[in-house]
Chains A and B, each alone.
Chain A
Amino acid sequence: MAARSTFPAGLVLDAHKQQACESPIIELPLPTQVVLALDQGAGYSAEPVVAVGDAVAAGALVARADHPFASAVHAPLAGIIVAMETREAAVQGGRSLCIVIDGSGADRIDDSVRPVTDPASLSPEELVQRMRDAGIAGLGGAGFPTPTKLASARELGAHTLVLNGAECEPWICCDDALMRSAADDVVLGALILRRAAGTVRCVIAIEDDKPAAIAAVTKAIERLRDDALTLAVIPAVYPKGAERQLITAVAGVEVPAGGLPADAGVVCQNVATAAAVARWATRGEPMLSRIVTVTGSGVAHPGNVRAAIGTPLAALIAACGGYRGAPLRLIAGGSMTGRALPSDEVGLTKSMNCVLVTTRDDIGSRLGAVELPCIRCGDCASVCPAGLLPQQLLRAALADAHDALRRLGVRDCIDCGLCDYVCPSQIPLADRFRHARRRLLEAEAMANKAAAARERHELHKRRLQQAATAEQRAFDSVRNRARQPGDGSAGDGN
């Protein structure tokens, strides 16, 4: 299937994928210790079900997902829980409650790990529930729990499942490597996800700069002979892999502002998530590992590594030959949307698709850059894939003008960072907008709280008034009775 239409703007960025992509995927042996963040990147934490000192088997549940936006966490290795504390982690806010497991070296596997005998025999609801138990979360970068997304897609009647293999970030190639080496897993996972989401068809979308992955997936689809499973090759334009932009490119529909993709009849999942679902179905393995790109000019031999969730990043970098040159900054995620990490001791999370080590040569010039005034060149507006006006948004953000921010659609900003990238004045636009969204959220929460307080205060005053009136009435009646001659018992009221 050819790409029908594309989103406005975007930019072709220089890819830096080749070196990491050439070498085969490194299978990293289990580390001696894992640090499992209970927030796996989606912003919500799982609830621990183990205590310090407990022995766990590989694949055992250590934290369950009570909140629909959290995902269950499992022990990737057999061992002893040695700590449970808030540590630095690769999540929003930089800290999360973490469970630390020391590997015992034993090969004990939890009883719950057994293959799903026949996924086709399970009802979609059962599939979703079993995936929730297995801690399946989106591996594309946001770490959003897959079962929650599938259930809401079912409810809203989505008809198309789009598997995201676009991978538009300039440095990341873990999905590319996965599709080349395990295209059959991706296709099998696609079928299970399609069934669980209740969609009629499934489209696997891949950018045209990945010919090997396209060939592998095409072959896998041909072997299957399923008319409702197709491949869409889309042009390699950043940020094609962003959910909304991908949906527009593949399905030709625009997701409404403030709505979910399912409102447009589409549900999006990453190809790596599909492969993880296949792994879960065939081996019974909950989400215990992922493939991550370890790259950047500060890494000796960039490559893709399959590692257990919770593996300290230092071990990943060591597997790729260690550091090289003068590493300056460690980034989780890509160069455009990634987040700087405090240290290489944090554990790998489900949402981390890339570990990028930058050196002074890459970003040194940018670090010393001074922000200059906006010259109104309009470059930011011409690249914005969400069709926003970053210049005007910047003015509103600096003035903290909430109505203007809302009207200009700051919430529709997808945080792709292209406006920063093209700005000749080096204004950190995306940062400003992130901050503005946060301010809006706080202002709205405060307004809601004030409205509730106003109402409760009115009720409080009315209640006190009623109580006072009732007391007065009781007092009056007692006094009246006391005044009546011959009634001795009424004097007690005084």
Chain B
Amino acid sequence: MNLDAVVIAVLVAAALAVALGAALGWAAARIEPDASALVERIDALLPQTQCGQCLFPGCRPYAVAIASGAADIDRCPPGGEVTVRALAALLDRAPRPLDPAFGMPKSAQVAWIDESRCIGCARCLPACPVDAIVGAPRLMHTVITAQCTGCELCLPPCPVDCIELRPAPAVSRHQRRPCAA
């Protein structure tokens, strides 16, 4: 057996290892993972209720916190177990139960204003994170049901407690392509 051939093979393998290792090390240092892309992907999995139960002011800030490691994935009661699982799969972590300190999941709900009791104070308008309440000072307010996320943020500012949460309407049975006529 030729000793030279063995030496050459070992040297080539060693050289390859050093070169590839250096390239990988350089790439790890220079090409940073795109943090904003990760935030987008996390945000896409959150339910967009904008309720703040995670103690962040909205879904996107929570996504930023998850991406940076400042918050765990168990803080979103509206998303429930489904969201935790989706986040765990995206981030390659083990799924975990929701932290009850941030609230318990509820079935889908929407706000409803008792118009006979509403005094038109307009305090709930800025509180609504998705502008789903229509109204003006001293005029009747009402909730656009289709856009309400059921976040409950309109409840505390109401001075007469005329807002209540009701079960969200069911999704329409049909989803055919709209016809003419």
Contacts and interface: CB of A to CB of B under 8 A. Distances in A.
A394 to B, nearest CB: 21
Nearest to B130: A456
Contact of B48 (A155, A156, A258, A451): A451
A52 B118 CA distance: 32
Interface residues of A, number: 36
Contacts of A43: 173-174
B59 A454 contact: yes
A26 B55 CA distance: 70
Nearest to A451: B48
Interface string A452-465: 11101101110110
A460 B181 contact: no
Interface in B158-174: 171-174
A258 B131 CA distance: 34
B74 interface: no
A7 interface: no
Given A456-B147, A457-B129, A151 B181 contact: yes
Secondary structure type dominating chain A contacts? helix
B171 A442 contact: yes
Given A43-B174, A68-B179, A148-B179, A464 B126 contact: yes
Nearest to B175: A441
Given A456-B132, A459-B131, A464-B126, A445 B181 contact: no
A391 interface: no
Contacts of B59: 454, 457
Interface in A78-112: 92-93
Interface in A252-305: 258-260
Nearest to A454: B48
Nearest to A461: B58
B152 interface: no
Contact of B179 (A152, A442, A445): A152
Interface in A114-141: 128
A149 B171 contact: no
Given A451-B48, A453-B48, A453-B149, A441 B181 contact: no
A318 interface: no
Contacts of A450: 46-48
A385 interface: no
A14 B149 CA distance: 52
A134 to B, nearest CB: 15
B34 to A, nearest CB: 20
Contacts of A456: 129-132, 147
Contacts of B129: 453, 456-457, 460
Contacts of A258: 177
B48 A457 contact: yes
A148 B173 CA distance: 18
Nearest to B129: A457
Contacts of A195: none
A69 interface: yes
A154 B174 contact: no
B180 A151 contact: yes
Contact of B130 (A148, A156, A453): A453
Nearest to A156: B180
Nearest to A464: B126
Contacts of A453: 48-50, 129-130, 147, 149
A15 to B, nearest CB: 32
A460 B180 contact: no
Nearest to A446: B47
A456 B147 CA distance: 9
A68 B132 CA distance: 28
A402 B147 CA distance: 24
A451 B172 CA distance: 18
A333 interface: no
A452 B147 contact: yes
A23 B177 CA distance: 42
A156 B173 CA distance: 24
Contacts of B171: 441-442, 445
Nearest to A155: B180
A417 interface: no
11 contacts: A69-B174, A151-B179, A445-B172, A449-B147, A450-B46, A454-B43, A457-B59, A457-B129, A460-B128, A460-B129, A461-B58
Closest 5 CB pairs of A and B: A151-B181, A450-B48, A456-B130, A152-B179, A155-B180
